[in-house]
Structure 1
């Protein structure tokens, strides 16, 4: 006969000023890239831990959340006085790997423009796939999960809460995903700008042209005669002919017929 350990469910201690999820109900993660990341959690989590993790995230039980190269650290308040230490590790890409990614990204200025608008390009995963890398973790084997709580389940509710808040951090700033993989915002943008400026003008996506300072004398000069288009000639009474029947009479005559001589006169004046 097997014996299953049973522990009574405990309530976490309340936290003042904790990191609360912006989502108060339903799914957490508003953008496609944060939802893509949460797929990993949902693929490895089972049972009620996912629901309890969402509750922890929404109650503000996470005291701190920090994203660094290859490692996310957090403090999560549980039922004990001492908060639990949470660590989520992932392989950070090296300089040569990032150089390959930046080389592909530099081929099109749209990538940098999208990121600066807080939008993750829709084909960003293809960029990483092209150099044999994966931006998002594809499974549990790519992650190192650790929590100081006594729960033997992985992921525990403290890890799950950290995952959900991490997804919302990705919602707010997609550069956090790159930071986790080893490249922060400033360095990534600087490397993209340097890579684009080093490429020959003929290879860039934007057409080459003279500098504005070299053509100020002729910039506002008309470059060619613009042919003015003439509007089609219509009868001066055409508007009256399009009016619906108006049940209004002026001195025994319909309104349209009363106005027609005046509109005929407009046409005569124009000619």
Structure 2
């Protein structure tokens, strides 16, 4: 007698070559329809190489919420399963090839960054950001990197991330969503500015406000005498002047 809950049912995982073959076929089919795809391509065994890509992936891997499915996501991203990935303000849209012929649709939403949180981070930046080039290259002090990755930083926490996938997997985080999340890391390797687009931040204004705050703080202290200035009597005593 058949049972509704049949625990003996097992779903086989496609091989890497099968995923690559189906991904290539899906890309060809979509392009024939005139659709512009932005596939994610990983070169070599290392998924991400720049500070931005590494920081994004490390942030994901910090949370136990995602631990069970991230390894499968890595496998899928390496085989070219993410045939399309677009990053917009507060949203990631992806098409990920799976077992079925038709790629699955993935949508990941990132909660908007509050004005208070953004302003707090800007004030904590102080004089640590000097220019846009250093910011995009990740060439800034370790303590500033904490502003992005640490608690209350710019990188999203699990509570700020919600997602849906058209696959039948009932897991909280399926491998297709995991692959798309790693795909974001790859994309940030190529275009770090997309991180600010995702978080809804005007990076030019972010730099301008940070530097403006720096100048404002300098001007506020301009009229205050420095503790390093010696009094007249101290100068006379130091040099033996009567």
When normalised by structure 1's length, the TM-score is 0.59
- Whether 1:14 and 2:23 are equivalent positions in the alignment is yes
Select 2:57's aligned residue among 38, 42, 56: 38
Q: 1:102 to 1:55 in 2, by over 3 A?
A: same
Q: Is the 8 A contact 1:34 1:170 kept in 2?
A: yes
- Counterparts of 1:124 and 1:115, CA distance in 2: 10
How far apart are 1:165 and its partner, in Å?
1.4
The correspondence of residues 187-226 of structure 1 with structure 2, limited to 5 A, is 187-196=205-214, 198-201=216-219
- Counterparts of 2:110 and 2:75, CA distance in 1: 25
Q: 1:100 to 1:189 in 2, by over 3 A?
A: same
Q: Deviations over 1:163-206 (max 9, x none)?
A: 211112223343333332221333323433444455544659xx
More helix by share: 2
- Whether 1:96 and 2:100 are equivalent positions in the alignment is no
The correspondence of residues 1-271 of structure 1 with structure 2, limited to 5 A, is 3-4=6-7, 5-10=9-14, 11-12=18-19, 13-15=22-24, 16=27, 19-25=39-45, 27-42=46-61, 43-45=64-66, 49-110=69-130, 112=132, 114-119=134-139, 121-127=141-147, 133-138=152-157, 140-196=158-214, 198-201=216-219
How far apart are 1:87 and its partner, in Å?
2.0
Q: Which has the higher Rg, Structure 1 or Structure 2?
A: 1
> Which shifted more, 148-157 or 88-97?
88-97
- Counterparts of 1:6 and 1:56, CA distance in 2: 19
Q: Is the 8 A contact 1:50 1:157 kept in 2?
A: yes
> Which shifted more, 145-154 or 31-40?
31-40
List 4+ stretches of structure 1 deviating above 6 A.
Answer: none
Q: 1:181 to 1:120 in 2, by over 3 A?
A: farther
- Counterparts of 2:67 and 2:179, CA distance in 1: 14
Which secondary structure does the structure 1 equivalent of 2:142 belong to? coil
How far apart are 1:78 and its partner, in Å?
2.6
- Counterparts of 1:118 and 1:193, CA distance in 2: 17
Which secondary structure does the structure 2 equivalent of 1:189 belong to? helix
Q: Which has the higher contact order (CA 8 A, sep 6+)?
A: 2
Q: Is the 8 A contact 1:94 1:182 kept in 2?
A: no
> Which shifted more, 148-157 or 75-84?
75-84
Q: Which runs of 5+ in 2 are unaligned?
A: 28-36, 223-242
- Counterparts of 1:182 and 1:188, CA distance in 2: 11
Q: Which runs of 5+ in 1 are unaligned?
A: 205-271
